Amino acid sequence: MPLRLPSPSRSERPPALPPLWSGRRRVQLSLLALTGLGQATIAGLGAHVLIRLLGGPSARPAALLVGLMAAAALCVGGLRMAERVIAERVSQGYVHELRLGLVERTLERGSTNLGVTVARTTNDLSAVRTWIFQGVVPLAVGVPFLLGATAALFLIDPMLALTLVVPLGALGLAMRRLVPVAYQRSRNLRRIRGRLAGHVTDTVMAAPGIRPAGGQERELRRVERLSRQLAQAAISRARTGGALRGVAAATSGLASASAIAVGLATHLPTAEIAAALTINGLLSTPIHDLGRVAEFRQTYLAARHVIAPVLQPGPVRRHGCPGTEDGAGTSETASATEAVVISGFDVGAVSLPRLEAAPGDRVLLRTGSSALDSEILHRLVSSPELAPGQVSVNGVDLATASPRDTRHVLGFAARGMMLTRSSVARTVAYRVSGTPGEDVTDTLRRVGLHDAVEMLPDGAQTILRRGGQPLTGHQRALLALARSIYRNPALLVLDHVDADLGREGRDVLLEVLRSHPGVVVIATDLPGESWTPTHRWSPTVPSQEPCVAELFAAGAT
């Protein structure tokens, strides 16, 4: 009989995950239900054969009946095998969909919290997969199996059906009491585990300062206290999980004992009692699985509480000047002489003046705060942060353009930028789809990396790992610069890249500023006498001032 598992109250319920009952998974889940019905049918037929075999002389040979029972056992084994394969397909397909969604949202929102991202894409998704594989699937198979087995017992004798229904009802009541407790204890365990992991991470990172201050014992005591709390929380959850499994195991035994007691009390034939015990024996596995379903569901609910909000599509942020319609600012596109138009662009309380730049222009962003410089430039190149019409490059609106169009017109490099796991050549040509061309070599020469790359074990095909190894720090910065200027994008945005380049790298950067054919918007600490910007882009803080400020030419007061 179906079991309704209690869930958190509506006010505490997080946003829903994508539906499991969709697409190909509908067929797969339906097949799982059919395997449960198939096992119930085989159990009923096996019980009928057993009654014929033990009930006295039969018109059919005993060997034939024994053979039929053996064939039924093989069929049950085949259905169980198919059940495992289909269950894996369902769980892996669903987790694959969630994993792609998590990574997509992370890239869209620019999250750089490595620990949180790894936890979501491994630990939390593992909890989701476990719930589907060992929770949803046992329900999809077990409920039809239990219903079919109950019907088979009813056909043998209605009293035997009651011997199964009553223990299952008691199981449902017990689970209704234990499930909320299991959920709270699972959440508490996850909370303490996260607190311990965060504290250990902070302690290890702060170790150089802890040792001179003599704080080792203090930190060890904190870790010991959190570790003890974690152990107690885990034991507390184990008690609830053990109670759920114990109740399920007792249900199977009680069903068999009840069948014997009812059979003896009502003087049922021995063959019918044996048939009921056979069916109950086949039901022991799905009943045990039901006891674990509640435990896995609580772990899943705790994981859903973390994953679901991340998968929700975030609202498009619309930045603009006060008084402009929808905050979108001016929506003019670039003309033949104005490759880049930026208007109605602001970050928090800081408004930036309208910018019109032609190919070859060099725009220096200067706010007086390098952190604010970086935030402005990162917003500038992040399409989810833009409103339509705010940034136009060669007629391409970055807020609405496809990723393909954006990467063709926009290049970006920033200090501390980590490189993806790929070959050197693929890293340089990252913004362009397809096989890297021979112009990769020219770009490497342009930034002075050609000789260093040639000395790597596999040259330009060497795979970079862990953010850019085996390259040195300034070589990684040069490679990031090479990626940003590859095939000369119309708009090149550079965020304090000189901080990672070193002296020779700064000379490369100056050459890029002199030779790049497109527009360059840069925040830098390079000395003013080493290069001359054509525009200085400085923000205004709106109060009584107009939103669109004057764009100062280089050297203007």
Q: What was the pLDDT predicted at 548?
A: 35
- 117: pLDDT confidence band, cut at 50, 70 and 90? low
Q: What was the pLDDT predicted at 483?
A: 92
Mean pLDDT of 442-456: 92
Residue 56 has pLDDT above 70, yes or no: no
Contacts of 467 (CB under 8 A, 6+ apart): 418, 419, 476
Q: How far does Cα 311 stand from its chain's mean position? A: 8
Q: What was the pLDDT predicted at 381?
A: 87
Mean pLDDT of 154-165: 91
| Share above pLDDT 70 across residues of the chain, in percent, rounded to a whole number | 84
What are 427-440's pLDDT values in tens digits?
999 888 777 778 89
Which range among 64-78, 254-268, 447-461, 520-534 shows the weakest confidence by mean pLDDT?
520-534
Higher pLDDT, 531 or 96: 96
Q: What was the pLDDT predicted at 32?
A: 94
- 413: pLDDT confidence band, cut at 50, 70 and 90? very high
Which range among 48-52, 131-135, 184-188, 309-313 shows the weakest confidence by mean pLDDT?
309-313
Looking at 3.30.390.50, 1.20.1250.20, 1.10.357.10, 1.20.1560.10, the CATH number of the domain 24-311 comes to 1.20.1560.10
What are 127-138's pLDDT values in tens digits?
889 899 988 999
- Domains 24-311 and 325-553 are alike in CATH topology: no
- 109: pLDDT confidence band, cut at 50, 70 and 90? low
Q: Which helix (H) or strand (E) covers residue 104, if one does?
A: helix 62-109
- Residues 65, 70, 75, 76: is their CA dihedral positive or negative? positive
As a whole number, the mean pLDDT across the chain is: 81
Assign 552 to helix, strand or coil.
Answer: strand
Domain coordinates in residue numbering, the chain: 24-311, 325-553
Residue 364 has pLDDT above 90, yes or no: yes
Q: Domain 325-553, CATH 3.40.50.300 — does that match?
A: yes
Q: What was the pLDDT predicted at 421?
A: 83
CA–CA separation, 164 and 268 (whole Å): 16
- If phi over 0 gives left and psi between -120 and 50 gives alpha, with beta otherwise, what is residue 540? beta
Which range among 126-135, 190-199, 468-477, 525-534 shows the weakest confidence by mean pLDDT?
525-534
Q: What was the pLDDT predicted at 84?
A: 92
Higher pLDDT, 63 or 521: 521
Residue 408 has pLDDT above 80, yes or no: yes
* Residue 289: DSSP 8-state: H
Rounded to whole angstroms, the maximal C-alpha distance in the chain is 113
Rounded alpha-carbon distances, angstroms, from residue 337 to 21, 55, 353, 361, 515: 54, 98, 19, 11, 18
Rounded to two decimals, what is the model's pTM? Answer: 0.61
- 333: pLDDT confidence band, cut at 50, 70 and 90? very low
Q: What was the pLDDT predicted at 369?
A: 87
| Share above pLDDT 90 across residues of the chain, in percent, rounded to a whole number | 30
Cα Rg of the chain (Å, integer): 34
Residue 37 has pLDDT above 60, yes or no: yes
Tokens representing residue 295 in the block: 């435990």
Mean pLDDT of 14-38: 90
Which range among 27-31, 53-57, 420-424 shows the weakest confidence by mean pLDDT?
53-57
Residue 210 has pLDDT above 50, yes or no: yes
Q: What was the pLDDT predicted at 199?
A: 82
What are 278-303's pLDDT values in tens digits?
888 888 888 888 877 877 887 787 77
Selection from 362, 358, 337 nearest residue 493 by Cα: 362
What residue type is 225 in one-letter code? R
What are 365-390's pLDDT values in tens digits?
988 888 889 889 988 888 777 888 89
Residue 542 has pLDDT above 90, yes or no: no
